[in-house]
Homo-oligomer: A and B are copies of this chain.
Amino acid sequence: MRNLSCLVFSAVVGALPAIAVADNNPVDEKWWPSEFGANDQAGATNWITPQKRLEAVKLVKKGEVATLGMPYHARTPLFPGRLYSLTIPGGGVPTHDLAWSGDSYRQTFMDELVTAQIGQVGTQFDSLAHPMIQIKGKDAKGWKDGNYFYNGVRLEDVGGPYGMKKLGVENVGSFFTRAIVIDLVKLKGGNLPIGYPISMKDYRDALKMAGIQDARQGDIVLFRTGWNDLWRGNMEKTQAQAIADNAAFNSGGPGISPEVCDHLASLKVAMVGADNWGIEPYDFTGNGQWPTKFEDVKEWAYCHMNLTVRRGIYLFENLDLKDLGERGPAEVLFSWAPLKLVGATGSPGNPIATW
């Protein structure tokens, strides 16, 4: 039990969280049942207690807010294979045809029709039914071949054409808790470059710069990298520019290194969020200082595996942290709950930060 011993050690030495990336192999540890019980489907929101909420509202001192959702539109960059379509049914007339209220006026309406991988486009929250660790050929260690979600739930047992039978996003509950902002843009004096792996040193420096304490159990940690400035304002650009910027955005990005994710895991935070598309750092162009050509990626989605699958800690991607970073403090009240899309793998969102 490498991880645990490691964490025990960190508890002993008190200050340094423990990292053990080297051989952090999910087949060598049976990582369930979770600490919330074998049947738990809510994961890390269990750590958000009434006490946490009362402490969080104390952060509201000015009554200012920032919304953290990016807009969803036809130029939202998408992971290959996903789509976002919004149309306004109408065909030349309003949607409903109700009686006239007077001789000259009546109520009419318009709707919109959306088709999208709605929990996995743009600003997106991953439920526990999104990432899996697929394991094969380890019968000897007690694993059945298959795709394992949080708490040992297997896709092969809970998958279904019309929604997951377990761990759907309707089980999450809500986030009304303290969030801290790790503002790398402020720390570094500009947006982080492609592939940049945010290190523990960066993390500590950002805490120090902000003059705040490290995250505690049930908190949310938000990483501002500046990366989604690339697709900010896409609707105002030329189509060619938007396409080019989306391609650049999708080609990688700065992200959270394994050591930081392991640290956050040890703190038992409720959620980790970022303004990039996938939490972890990548550079598929291979042209930056930290190249990770697509075909050369050694370990995909380390934080997804080790925060969400193994511990039930949530991830929120493609958040808009610019306004908050520019106007707000490093500690805010974060309030949001995912849409109760029964059986869904995620949820779109527009959380509120208040200070």
Spell out A's residues near B (CB within 8 Å). Answer: 25-27, 49-54, 57, 60-65, 67, 69-74, 80-83, 85-95, 98-99, 101-120, 123, 129-138, 147, 155-156, 159-164, 170, 173-174, 176, 235, 239, 295, 297-301, 304-305, 333, 335-346, 348-352, 354
- Chain B residues with CB under 8 A of A87: 87, 89, 91, 113, 161-163
26 contacts between A and B (CB under 8 A): A50-B63, A50-B64, A54-B60, A73-B342, A85-B113, A88-B90, A88-B159, A88-B161, A88-B164, A90-B159, A91-B164, A93-B160, A98-B301, A105-B134, A105-B138, A107-B300, A107-B304, A110-B130, A111-B130, A112-B344, A112-B346, A176-B335, A235-B342, A335-B354, A337-B350, A338-B350
Residue of B67, B155, B351 near A110 (CB, 8 A) is B155
Q: Choose one: B69, B106, B130; the contact of A340 (CB below 8 Å).
A: B69
Using Cβ atoms and an 8 Å threshold, which residues of chain B touch A106? 133-134, 300
From A52, which residue of chain B is reached at the shortest CB distance? B63
Which residues of B are found within 8 Å of A340, using beta-carbon distances? 67, 69-72, 123, 350
The majority secondary structure among interface residues of chain A is: loop
B92 pairs with A94, CB closer than 8 A: yes
Q: Across the interface, do B50 and A341 meet the contact criterion of CB distance under 8 Å? A: no
Chain B residues lying within 8 Å of A336, measured Cβ to Cβ, are: 335, 352
Query: Which residues of B lie under 8 Å from residue A111 when comparing CB positions?
Result: 82, 117, 119-120, 130, 161, 345-346
CB closest residue in chain B, given A120: B111
How far, in Å, is A150 (CB) from chain B's closest CB?
13
CB distance from A21 to the nearest CB of B (A): 11
Is the Cβ of A88 less than 8 Å from the Cβ of B86?
no
